[in-house]
Amino acid sequence: MQFETGLAFARQLDRDDPLARFRNAFNFPRRSDGSAEIYLCGNSLGLQPKRARDTVTEELDKWAALGVKGHFSGEHPWMPYHEFLAESSAALVGAGADEVVVMNSLTTNLHLMMVTFYQPTSERFKIVIEDHAFPSDHYAVESQLRFHGIDPAEGMLLLKPREGEELVRREDIDALIREQGDSIALMLLPGVQYYTGQWWNIADITRSAQARGITVGFDLAHAVGNVPLQLHDWQVDFACWCSYKYLNSGPGAVGGCFVHRRHASNTALPRFAGWWGHDKESRFRMENRFQPIPTAEGWQLSNPPILSLAAIRASLDIFQEAGGMVPLREKSEKLTAYLQFLLEQHASEFINIITPLDPQQRGCQLSLCCDARHLSGRAVHQRLEDHGVTCDWREPNVIRIAPVPLYNSFEDVHRFVEILAAACNE
């Protein structure tokens, strides 16, 4: 559509927005004068759903009233509580309910998946990650290699952008697979790269890698709830995610895991075992013969933290009420395109967008490199914070802006660009 620069146009877009009502389902941080912040940091920590207080209090009250009997009582008994999140989680990642489980933290799940899916041999032992991976992923891969007695200098292949570029080119991924595929055991890549916001072509990468016998897993921390996913149809082997970014489930909330059905049903796969992954019918016989559940649940270790799951349930219910990722993606593309348009109109002299300009290669995040007249990028970020904008700084010189379709408005975007342009012009 043809955008306009005026505030009246932004407000008209908000009036026409069928998802605008969901903004009122979230709590916005307040400034000292009582006004709401312009919150553009959902890629780091999503806002609190107002109903999360009720869902968590419900379980606290049940605990107070019933004690241990809460495992089997009420509308949402604790024993199967994680199962109440399976269908809504599966819908967000394009999977069957038997292929997903809400459990643990992201990095814990990555380790559990690598225990199963990284089985190095003398010929095939390398792991591919991107050069500027989120540090926790890098640490996890490096430690897995060392655990198997492999020097990371030999076993870790880093996908790098070309000299002077920020984004990894698809043809360079294909070239790496073509040149070293026979020595690669695992590719562990992001769905959306946290620093640049580049949305990787999961389906094509998976197809190319698996054709060379490579197992493929994805870290979806910045993709789930942000971009549409079809993990089952894309034949991804496994994927893991956190739930506190776009899934708005609270700081440190329990993460999620996908295991494709062709693997999940294979109870002979090696794994680190815990009793919550044991067959449900015989779990309480307390026998010491592990029998995995033949679904993604078979990778569970311990009974989950119910209070965290309650907050996740509150958020996932909102995603369902909003109609899932199709309408959210439609708004996201328009909201981010509007942000790009305003930046090009008012701040192109001072910022460089390193996120792909093609909407099909990005989610809602735009990463901005700043070069203001008298301010460093960090100083510009501080000016934004001083004027009521919450966004995200990443070294060495990037401000990440994430207009989230569930709760951000077009007016939020307009006000942000006004503040950014003023700061850069000081």
All domains in the chain, ordered by first residue: 7-36+324-425 (3.90.1150.10), 57-321 (3.40.640.10)
How is residue 222 written in tokens?
């910045």
Ranges under pLDDT 70 in the chain:
372-374
pLDDT of residue 377: 83
pLDDT of residue 233: 98
DSSP state for residue 49 in the 8-state scheme:
E
pTM: 0.96
What are the backbone angles phi and psi of residue 129, rounded to the nearest 5°? -135, 170
pLDDT of residue 373: 63
Rounded distance between C-alpha atoms, residue 287 and residue 245, angstroms: 39
Rounded distance between C-alpha atoms, residue 370 and residue 353, angstroms: 9
**Per-residue DSSP letters for 300-348?**
--S---HHHHHHHHHHHHHHHHTTSHHHHHHHHHHHHHHHHHHHHHHST
CB 50 within 8 A of CB 25: yes
pLDDT of residue 396: 86
Omega before residue 396 within 30° of 0, cis: yes
pLDDT of residue 187: 98
pLDDT in tens, 350-373: 899 999 999 999 999 999 998 766
pLDDT in tens, 57-109: 999 999 999 999 999 998 999 999 999 999 999 999 999 999 999 999 999 99
What is the number of alpha carbons within 13 Å of residue 101 lying toward its C-beta? Answer: 27
- Cβ neighbours of residue 216 under 8 Å, at least 6 residues apart? 186, 187, 189, 205, 206, 209, 210, 236, 237
pLDDT of residue 370: 84
